[in-house]
Amino acid sequence: MAKQVYMFDEGHKDMKNQLGGKGANLAEMTQIGLPVPYGFTITTDACHSYYQDGKLVNTALKDEIIQALHQLEAATNKKLGDKETPLFVSVRSGSVVSMPGMMDTVLNLGMNDLTVEAQKKLTGNGRFAYDSYRRFIQMFSNVVLGIDLYFFENRLDQLKEAKGYISDPEMTEEDWIELILSYKDLVVKHTNQPFPQDPIEQLMFAIHAVFDSWNNQRAIIYRQLNRIPDSYGTAVNIQSMVFGNTGNDSGTGVAFTRNPSTGENLLYGEFLLNAQGEDVVAGIRTPQPIAQLEQILPDVYQQFVNASLLLEKHYRDMQDIEFTVEQGKLYILQTRNGKRTAASAVRIAVEMAEAGIISKEEALLSVEAEQLNQLLHRRIDNKADMIILTKGLPASPGAATGKVVFNSDEAQAYHDKGEKVILVRPETTPDDIQGIIAAEAVVTSRGGMTSHAAVVARGMGKPCICGVESLKIDTQSKRFVVRETTVNHLDIITIDGDTGSIIVGEVPMIEPKNSSHFHQLLAWADQEKGIDVRANADNKEDSLKALELGAEGIGLCRTEHMFMQADRQKVVKEMILSSSTQERKICLAQLLPIQQGDFEEIFEVMQDLPVTIRLLDPPLHEFLPDKEELLIEVTAMRITEPDSTLLKEKELLLKKVQELSEMNPMLGHRGCRLGLIHPEIYAMQAEAIFLAAITMHQKGIHVKPEIMIPLVGHSNELKIMRKLVIDTAEAVLAKASINMEYTIGTMIEIPRAALTAEQIAAEADFFSFGTNDLTQTTFGYSRDDAEGKFLQTYLEQNILTENPFRVLDKEGVGQLVEIGVNKGRSVKPELKTGICGEHGGEASSIAFCLHAGLDYVSCSPFRVPLARLAAAQATIRRQAIT
Ligand code: ADP
Ligand code: MG
Ligand code: MG
């Protein structure tokens, strides 16, 4: 039979699975010589047996417990229940991972009518002895016997009132004795049994209660919320008591070794004089800041400083420590790695590495990559007073204040007037792109974390809240209603994309500032990482942001956003509506200098860094008005103004829209299919790129354009498009008498392209895996439909463990990426490979890309720091394995 009970000097910190986090750390601290009251831990395996045996502590375990108790008694020179030198213990639960809200601790166990007298005699302090006894009855009755604390508090209040006292310290020894009688009477009333006097019985009862607490309602819910396996079980710690309530040279407290919100290297915490552990949490009295301990008990303070330095060095991390002082002597009762904000995590990592406590690699691994996101966005000042109107899904972080508008045209119009606006829509579509760009933030009443609004806003680093179902939007009369509150057009609201809260009016904000620590940590990350990080950027602003946040180039410059900008929408529309190629070419000629300007702006910012430009990808109807809306408009006009020329125009437009409309646009006439049918469009884009590059060369900026053809599924498609780009390039370059290196590559986003990558590679200088479309085509899901209709259920029922549009599906889609890279490199070893799309900014997907041997990942500018850190972490972890 395996050992089920460990004395504190038999365990160590790596035994969390058996001893629970608390038990393993109590053992570790005992081993390194810290003043920890002695005790023992019952393992999580014993908890499993308890449940297997039908909630019974079997005799083998009982024997082990009694034996451990004897060892504890021998070590402390005290005996549980002894009427001269009684031992008192605490019974503390402790799971593998910390689970607040599972079981409360029982302190002072072993107290009864005899031992309380002994304690009085030993300490010469009857008031203290009886206070400890009444605390025990109260805790035990609540935690173990399940009697509501309210009844006890009520009796205490009644007695104090009868005596004319205001606070507990006025209670005398006799008063506590009187209260104990009243408490005992309460216990009989509720359980029909007298309060248990036998200390062994008390102990066994308490152990049962800890095991039972593993399956109480709040513990089960907490586990579900935090994805903690039910199979862990809880350990039980039995520890000899130290008393913080013996007088003013005693007390209790909790402290972090560094500030958990700022990371400052200063003890941060609180203590209470003359109190027991639970009092600090209970909030009965207001604790004092830890710094004041230095004045009150300088000697104890120094002991604590030393202990905290030792613990930090030993655990190589910031610690969260519980302590108690008994008559001027310090005891450590718990330590664990402290929870902290992102800002604090970064500062602590850097400062601990600089102080030589941890290595740079450990510093990099200690910050959760996803957390960095918090640091790049403006946040609501939590100290501010505010009334939260309602909540939705926190789809994109950051906070914003602005006037409410209900459509994209208005967003644009008010933005142009210099107003800050928040776009509120039932949902957004690609038509809303201008509105989203113009708005400070976006709110939608429908859609999830990966709806159009969410994806676009995240890409732009704008706050966004989705799926606010309580929001009843009336776009017609321009207002929304949440229960009784109505918010009108142009009213001011504030949104918090970190929590999903919508607040009426303005709220104070904290601006993001990237500390020197942040830059230092990322500089270390850049030294480590074995994969480049680029950004997706379509314009000058995004490019500037990308550079500022450390991108090493642009991995995806989408040209469709350029077509959607207001100043060119008219020509773009004419181009699409052209009835002949000739007509279309005239429009394209007008677009050419505009496109050239777009590229020049981006090249100018990126200088010599690589920029991958993707030729037009979406189907043409995306640039035209919505079919249904247009139909309604035309129908109405046929009645109101049947002879107007405007109607003629609209009818023509409608006809074209109907012609272009597709059954399934995602799989329709888009990407290179567009370039093959209308080569003049791609030719114009290629010309614009080379003209822009020539301008740069003349300025001494040596751009090497990377031109990317989207949606290739067959090598012949790429062959023709490649020739088109080369012919165009050569003509333009010859005319300017300039030589220039350039590359032509393709997106790999159709399974067939990955599977025939040898053939495709023959025509390509680089591959960029478009994992969004590749996920759609591999799963056969259209993203919007999947996320809108069934994906949530799939996740809830564990059919899929992650949303494959957020976290790369390594098994399926990832396999295609690997096939693509390997087959491609088999014929072209120097083939450059990368991934663009949201996955390029997600930590586990980045690790996958590193292992698959890709040269770079590309993600939205705001996720670049996260990607740099995640790339470094994946590289360090890989080195650790090999
Ligand atoms: P939690 O996990 O809820 O923090 P703990 O088991 O850590 O519960 O205990 C609650 C409080 O009781 C803490 O303040 C702790 O320091 C104190 N405490 C626990 N055991 C002892 C003991 N043997 N002597 C003195 N105080 C104790
Ligand atoms: Mg604790
Ligand atoms: Mg695509």
What pLDDT digit, counting tens, does each position of 269-299 carry?
999 999 988 776 665 677 889 999 999 999 9
Question: pLDDT tens digit string along 687-721?
Answer: 999 999 999 999 999 999 999 999 999 999 999 99
Which ligand 1 atom is the nearest neighbour of the CA of 240? 23
The token pair that represents 542 in the structure block: 């995004």
Write down which residue in 376, 403, 424 finishes a domain.
Answer: 376
- Output the domain CATH number for residue 105: 3.30.1490.20
Domain match, 651 and 686 both: no
Query: What pLDDT score does 431 carry?
Result: 74
- The single residue listed with the structure tokens 């310290």 is 169
Residue 640 is assigned to a structural domain of this protein: yes
Residue 518 is assigned to a structural domain of this protein: no
CA of 252, nearest ligand number: 1
Domain match, 500 and 634 both: no
Residue 308 is assigned to a structural domain of this protein: yes
- The single residue listed with the structure tokens 């006292």 is 165
Q: Is 478 left (phi over 0), alpha (psi -120 to 50) or beta?
A: left
| 107, 139 Cβ separation under 8 angstroms | yes
Query: What pLDDT score does 226 carry?
Result: 79
Question: pLDDT tens digit string along 395-442?
Answer: 888 899 999 999 999 999 999 898 999 999 998 887 788 899 899 999
Query: What pLDDT score does 283 carry?
Result: 56
In short, whether 334's Cβ falls inside 6 Å of ligand 1 is yes
- Alpha carbon distance 870, 864 (integer Å): 10
Domain match, 640 and 754 both: no
CA of 234, nearest ligand number: 1
Write down which residue in 353, 376, 399 finishes a domain.
Answer: 376
C-alpha of residue 108 to centroid of ligand 2, in Å:
16
C-alpha of residue 650 to centroid of ligand 1, in Å:
76
Comparing CA positions, the residue from 718, 707, 715 lying closest to residue 672 is: 718
Nearest CA to ligand 1 atom 3: 104
Write down which residue in 326, 352, 376 finishes a domain.
Answer: 376
From 76, 78, 90, 213, give the residue whose CB has the most ligand 1 atoms within 8 Å, as the site to mutate: 90
Respond yes or no: is residue 452 known to be catalytic. Answer: yes
Total tally of structural domains belonging to the chain: 5
Domain match, 269 and 303 both: yes
CA of 282, nearest ligand number: 1
How many CB atoms lie under 10 A from the CB of residue 568? Answer: 17
Which ligand 1 atom is the nearest neighbour of the CA of 277? 14
The token pair that represents 106 in the structure block: 């029982």
CB under 8 A, 24+ apart: contacts of 149-157 = 151/186, 151/190, 152/183, 152/186, 155/179, 155/182, 155/183, 155/186
Residue 544 is assigned to a structural domain of this protein: yes
Question: pLDDT tens digit string along 175-193?
Answer: 999 999 999 999 999 999 9
In short, whether 92's Cβ falls inside 6 Å of ligand 1 is yes
In short, whether 107's Cβ falls inside 6 Å of ligand 1 is yes
- Output the domain CATH number for residue 566: 3.20.20.60
Residue 387 is assigned to a structural domain of this protein: yes
**Cα 682 from chain centroid (whole Å):** 40
Catalytic residue, candidates 47, 464, 836, 849: 836
- Output the domain CATH number for residue 306: 3.30.470.20
Nearest CA to ligand 1 atom 22: 241
In short, whether 277's Cβ falls inside 6 Å of ligand 1 is yes
Residue 520 is assigned to a structural domain of this protein: no
Q: Give one DSSP letter per residue of 631-677, joined into a string.
A: HHHHHHHHHH-TT-HHHHHHHHHHHHHHHH--S-GGGSS-THHHHHH
In short, whether 110's Cβ falls inside 6 Å of ligand 1 is no
| 507, 384 Cβ separation under 8 angstroms | yes
Name the residue range of residue 636's domain. 624-661
Domain match, 330 and 364 both: yes
Domain match, 650 and 669 both: no
C-alpha of residue 543 to centroid of ligand 3, in Å:
20
Domain match, 196 and 99 both: yes
Catalytic residue, candidates 47, 377, 415, 452: 452
Residue 517 is assigned to a structural domain of this protein: no
Nearest CA to ligand 1 atom 12: 277
How many CB atoms lie under 10 A from the CB of residue 365? Answer: 18
Domain match, 358 and 397 both: no
C-alpha of residue 313 to centroid of ligand 2, in Å:
21
Domain match, 837 and 863 both: yes
Domain match, 250 and 226 both: no
Query: What pLDDT score does 223 carry?
Result: 86
Model pTM score = 0.85
Rg (CA), the chain: 34
Question: pLDDT tens digit string along 519-572?
Answer: 999 999 999 999 999 999 999 999 999 999 999 999 999 998 888 887 888 899
Domain match, 780 and 870 both: yes
Mean pLDDT for 352-370 is 96
C-alpha of residue 336 to centroid of ligand 2, in Å:
9
- Alpha carbon distance 345, 372 (integer Å): 9
| 606, 553 Cβ separation under 8 angstroms | yes
Mean pLDDT for 115-134 is 96
Domain match, 125 and 190 both: yes
Residue 542 is assigned to a structural domain of this protein: yes
Residues with CB under 5 Å of ion ligand 2 are 334
C-alpha of residue 277 to centroid of ligand 1, in Å:
6
Question: pLDDT tens digit string along 10-60?
Answer: 999 999 999 999 999 999 999 999 999 999 999 999 999 999 999 988 999
